Structure 1
Amino acid sequence: MNNCHFLFHRHACIRYQVKGEGFPLVLLHGFLEHLGIWESFSDHLSTHFKVISIDIMGHGWTRAARKIFTVEFSASLINDLLSYLHIDRCLMAGHSMGGYSLLAMEELYPEKVAGMCMFHSIPWGDTAERKQQRDQLIHLIREGKRSLLVQQHLSSSFAPENMTRFAAEVERAKNIAMESDSTELISAIEGMKIRKDRTFVVESTHKPILWMIGEKDAYISKEKLLEVAQKTKNGKIVLLPHSGHMGFIEEKEKSAESFMWLYRQVLQG
């Protein structure tokens, strides 16, 4: 990818990309993705924002010598990168797994976060059943069946009718999913398993929170997430009727427009 940069810091290598000018907006991708998954969406947003996309620990070309990549460690590296880029305050959006690091940022480095977007993401921790499912993912990776894992993951990520409609984007997401190092992925999965429940973070803050929820999301309980989202003090819920778990692709324009609410809330605050 063009215009990518690397920060070597604290025995870690962080890959990132910056597009556009304006108020900073940080994009944190989901599981089996890297910053490239945002390419079209970040182009769209860069007409209004300075968009910083980051490879989260365990994905893409971000690396660190650790057996487990906790979301707290991921947040610390994101904070270090923002300091390096002289960004004191920003909007931050986390897609699925990226939302876990976002909420860790809000808890540990709240001064950096002006507003949040939980993009198909949840604040609660893993259930025993979900941890078992993650162990199964690790088993598939270690057995050399990563292509099967990716195929299963993507078939549930997009709404069924969008698998054909966005065939090129699905294929690109598949290629992106195969690019991360297997050992690094396992470290990221282990970190997700032990993350704590941060529902208290979203329920206690007065900062604006944008909740992007796909009507056809196979990974998230819409009812449970709506129950939490409706309790936030300054929240906006955007339902994407034609989206599964990839609304920034499946309903790109509507998703991008929703970010302007987040920006207006920060300006008014």
Structure 2
Amino acid sequence: MGGVQLYTRSAGEGLPVVLLHAFPLSSAMWLAQREGLADVCKVITPDLRGFGGSVLGEDEPSLDVMADDVARLLDREGIDRAVVGGLSMGGYVTMTLCRRHPDRLLGVILADTKASADPEEARSGRERIADDVLREGTSVLVEKVLPGLLGRTTLERRAMVSGRVRGLVQAAHPVAVAWAQRAMAARPDSFDTLRALDAPVLVIVGEEDEIAPVAVADAMAEAAPDGRLAVIEKAGHLSAIEQPEAFNRAVSAFVAELGGGSPRR
């Protein structure tokens, strides 16, 4: 198959766990997971197309394209089935992979994301941001996207975390940002996909997430036949960055449940 080859980092051995990053960040957001989970599983963190070290390519904006990229990544790594998860946009790509490549899944992790499609107002907002960032650059993201990514505890008490996230946002390429916004705007509702899943599902959410709040996460966990919910205290939309130890404990316990090792305490 053709398509973009994703730039990938990995750490550890054992059960493969693929983690897909949030918009508009890169796989650099998973540093604490690569370090903290390396003795529990093999953590694979690709840059989705256009972000970090991956090129964008010529395809039209589509989460289907991004999910197929991940399937090709598994082929390239010689992995038949893996635990695949993602945060925010990475969750959208994960649910698309569930729909298009369900045979590749040992388990699913959905963090701070939504199974519902965007309403018209949200789609229009994404298009406005896409247009604005192409015209004005990533300063638009700092103003319009960054404030909602972090929880109130992080904004009040964790200046270093806020600064790191700001740097990751500013590093995004405007063309990739616009492409991804349009891909996300066109995504379908994924609740039927969740209901049809054979694989176990872990839904993680920051208790202070205002973009994809706890009630949304709970509905997703309820929709999956074998779903469970983990709420991360004092974290917002980027729970893996804001509270990495708690996030890693939830993933470690899930991997252990799947038979991939002992949970981290």
**Does TM, normalized by the shorter one, top 0.5?**
yes
| Residues 91-170 of structure 1: pairs in structure 2 closer than 5 A | 91-170=83-162
State the match for 2:13 in structure 1. 21
Summarize the Cα distance change of 1:201–1:11 in structure 2 as closer, same or farther, 3 Å threshold: closer
Q: Does 1:219 align with 2:211?
A: yes
Q: 8 Å contact 2:17–2:44 — kept in the other structure? A: yes
State the match for 1:5 in structure 2. none
> Could you tell me how far apart the structure 2 residues matched to 1:184 and 1:263 are?
32
Q: 8 Å contact 1:213–1:239 — kept in the other structure? A: yes
> Could you tell me how far apart the structure 2 residues matched to 1:72 and 1:148 are?
27
> Could you tell me how far apart the structure 2 residues matched to 1:79 and 1:102 are?
11
Tell me the secondary structure at the aligned position of residue 239 of structure 1: strand
Q: 8 Å contact 2:137–2:174 — kept in the other structure? A: no
Q: Does 1:253 align with 2:235?
A: no
Q: 8 Å contact 2:205–2:231 — kept in the other structure? A: yes
Identity %: 22
Q: 8 Å contact 2:203–2:220 — kept in the other structure? A: no
> Could you tell me how far apart the structure 1 residues matched to 2:8 and 2:213 are?
31
1:120 maps to amino acid? D
How far the C-alpha of 1:164 sits from its partner, in A, is: 4.2
Q: Structure 2: 5+ residue runs without aligned partners? A: 261-265
TM-score (norm 2): 0.91
Q: Does 1:263 align with 2:249?
A: no
Summarize the Cα distance change of 1:69–1:57 in structure 2 as closer, same or farther, 3 Å threshold: farther
Q: Structure 1: 5+ residue runs without aligned partners? A: 1-8
Structure 1 runs of 4+ aligned residues shifted over 3 Å read none
Structure whose residues are more often strand by fraction:
1
1:210 maps to amino acid? L
| Residues 173-184 of structure 1: pairs in structure 2 closer than 5 A | 173-184=165-176
Residues 31-81 of structure 1: per-residue CA shift (max 9 Å, x gap): 010000111222101121111001112322212332533111111111111
Q: 8 Å contact 2:204–2:217 — kept in the other structure? A: no
Aligned residues: 260
